[in-house]
Amino acid sequence: MYIFPAIDIIGGRVVRLYKGDYSAAKTYDVTVDEAARAFSAQGATHIHAVDLDGAKSGKAENADAVRRIISESGAFVEIGGGIRTEEQIQSYLAAGAGRVILGTIAVRDFDFVVDMVEKYGDGIAVGVDASDGKVAVSGWREVTDIDSVGFCERLVAAGANNIIYTDIACDGALGGTNVGIYERLVGIDGAKITASGGICSLAEISELKRLGAYAAILGKALYENKLDLRAAVELGERE
Question: Where in the sequence is the domain holding 50, given as residue range(s)?
Answer: 2-237
- pTM for the whole structure: 0.95
Taking only the tens place, the pLDDT of each residue in 69-128 is 999 999 999 999 989 999 999 999 999 999 999 999 999 999 999 999 999 999 999 999
Task: Quickly state the pLDDT bin for 140 (edges 50, 70, 90).
Answer: confident
Taking only the tens place, the pLDDT of each residue in 160-198 is 999 999 998 887 777 889 999 999 999 999 999 999 999
pLDDT of 19 over the 80 cut = no
- pLDDT computed for residue 139 by the predictor: 73
C-alpha dist (Å) from residue 18 to 30, 41, 49, 50, 171 = 18, 27, 17, 15, 6
Mean pLDDT of the chain: 94
Q: How far apart are CA 61 and CA 171, in angstroms?
A: 22
Residue type, 71: S
Percent of the chain surpassing pLDDT 70: 100
Number of domains present in the structure of the chain: 1
pLDDT of 30 over the 90 cut = yes
- pLDDT computed for residue 22 by the predictor: 86
Candidate list 8, 51, 167, 171, residue with the active-site label = 8
pLDDT of 7 over the 90 cut = yes
- pLDDT computed for residue 8 by the predictor: 96
Q: Give the bridge partners for 50, in sequence order.
A: 8, 80
Residue 238: phi and psi, rounded to 5, are -65, 140
- Residue 12: give its domain's CATH number: 3.20.20.70
129 noted as active-site residue: yes
Residue type, 99: R
Candidate list 51, 129, 167, 171, residue with the active-site label = 129
122 noted as active-site residue: no
